[in-house]
Structure formats: structure tokens, C-alpha cells
Amino acid sequence: MTGAAGRIGTTLREAWHGRFPLRLVDTQDLGVEREGEETLVVDLADFTATQRAVGGAEVVVHLAAIPSEDRFARLLAANVAATYNVFEASRQARVRRVVFASTNHVTGFYTSAERVGPDDPVRPDSLYAVTKVFGEALGRLYADKWGLEVVCLRIGAFGEKPGDADALPMWLSPGDAVRLFTRALVAPEVGFLVAYGVSRIPCSWWDNPGGAALGYEPVDEVEPELQRALASERSPGGGLQGGRFTDRDYWVEP
């Protein structure tokens, strides 16, 4: 698992401890290794180091990335070159499956009045989202050309609860994140598949046949009082699904 020190990585590490043997990879120290864990400090922009990181793995969960808008040069290294290195090193190491953490922002320019699914054209809302489109396209290539199994998970607003009205339709709880990523690990014969990472939200914007194909069943719901409060804050007719990511000012100069 790359990006193991991040919020989702930390959640999965705790949930999977004792269930799966884990090789935890990040650019920062991951603390004390526990039984069944191996920790590595690796710069995934270095292909040789990435080869060492994935060697011998059956499944690679690729979480590592800059998760917001940034200078293109930084995104290029962390989100594009590193993702290519993970896929290519996985192919060379005969890894069976790569689970790629994508983002809801690959379809951020659809309006909140629209239902969107994996078969709809991508409409990225930022350079960050473009790097995730690249990762999904790369996964499609490796699945079609070399038979690598690839699951792309378009993660919504991860957290204990939705932080605002924009997050409500795309909230993903820690518990459901564990359920989703676990199914992405163990579901049989996935080929290439795209699924949205969202909890049990009646007002969700997304159709999620990929989640159903994985056997993912969200459980967690927003408390009714909070849901009513957040829903009342949303402007009539809504806006764009990418929220502030779609703003012209959400940009980092070169």
C-alpha cells in the first residue's frame, strides 16, 4: 500500500492489521512495524525504488498522490510519473491487481442535477483531476494490453461525517472506505473496473455499478438531523459537483 501514512492509508492499515500481510510505503516514516507489517520509505518517482517496493506483492493499493491542486511540475512527479512507475513496476513484478485511488473530481464539471456513472465522459475540474484521469487511462491500458487487473476507485469526501453541504452527496465514511477497499482487494476476476467511493447517501449524484460488481454495499448513513441541516444549506438547483475545484481561482501558477 502506497501513501500508507495518509488519512485513508492509516484507516486501512488499522483495519487490515492481522488480516492481510502488509507492505506499507510512504515518503515519511511510518512508525513501528507490527507483526505482519513491513514499512518502506520510498520516493515513487524513482522507478528502481518503486520496483523494490512492489516486488513480490500480489495486490498493490496505490493511494500516494498530491490530493489537491498544485504546480504542474509537482503533480507531474507525484501523480503522473509515480503512478506510471507503480503500474509498470507492478507489470514487471507480475502483480495480479492494482487498486488505484482516483477521485470524484474526474467528473467534477457535471452539475449536481445530473446523475453520473463510470461510462459517462470524464470532465476533470482541475489539473489534479487530470492526473487522476491519466491514472485511470493508464490502468485501462495495462488491463487491455497485459491483463493486469485494475480497480479504479473514485473517492468522494472521506471523513467521519460530511463537513459541509457540498460534501453531503459524496460522503465516504471510514467504515465504508474499509469495506470498499477490502472488496477491491478480494473480489474475483475484476478485469478493469471503475467504482465510486460513497456511503449510503440518498442524494448521491452517482450511479455505481462498479461498486455493485465488487460486492460493495455501503452501510453508513448521515444522521438525519445533520443531513437535513446540510441539505438546507445547498443552493436551489445546486451547482457543479466539483465544488470549489471548478472555480477559476482554484489554480496554482507555474
* DSSP class per residue in 18-73: TTS-EEEEESS---SPPTTEEEEE--TTSHHHHHHHHTT-SEEEE--S--S---HH
Instruction: Assess if residue 22 is contained within a domain.
Output: yes
pLDDT tens digit sequence for 166-208? 899 999 999 999 999 999 999 999 999 999 999 999 889 999 9
Tell me which residue range forms the domain holding 79.
Answer: 7-246
**Alpha carbon distance 184, 177 (integer Å):** 10
DSSP 8-state assignment for residue 235: P
Tell me, what CATH number does 77's domain have? 3.40.50.720
Instruction: Assess if residue 135 is contained within a domain.
Output: yes
pLDDT at residue number 233: 80
0.85 exceeded by pTM: yes
Q: What are phi and psi of 210, to 5 degrees?
A: -65, -40
Instruction: Assess if residue 1 is contained within a domain.
Output: no
Instruction: Assess if residue 84 is contained within a domain.
Output: yes
Strands 171-172 and 157-158: parallel
pLDDT at residue number 77: 97
Q: Where are the beta strands (DSSP E) in 123-224?
A: 149-155, 157-158, 171-172, 192-197
Point out the catalytic residue in the list 110, 128, 142, 216: 128
Note if 250 is an active site residue: no
3-state DSSP call for residue 130?
Answer: helix
Of 225 and 139, the structure prediction assigns the larger pLDDT to 139
**Alpha carbon distance 164, 86 (integer Å):** 34
What band does 228 get if pLDDT is binned at 50, 70 and 90? confident
Which residue, among 37, 16, 6, has the nearest Cα to 184 in the 3D structure?
A: 16
Instruction: Assess if residue 172 is contained within a domain.
Output: yes
Domain count for the chain: 1
Instruction: Assess if residue 89 is contained within a domain.
Output: yes
pLDDT at residue number 128: 98
What band does 235 get if pLDDT is binned at 50, 70 and 90? low
> How many residues in total does the chain contain?
254
Q: What are phi and psi of 252, to 5 degrees?
A: -120, 120
Q: What angle do CA 45, 51, 52 make, to 5 degrees?
A: 110
What band does 231 get if pLDDT is binned at 50, 70 and 90? confident
The yes-or-no verdict on residue 249 having pLDDT over 60 is yes
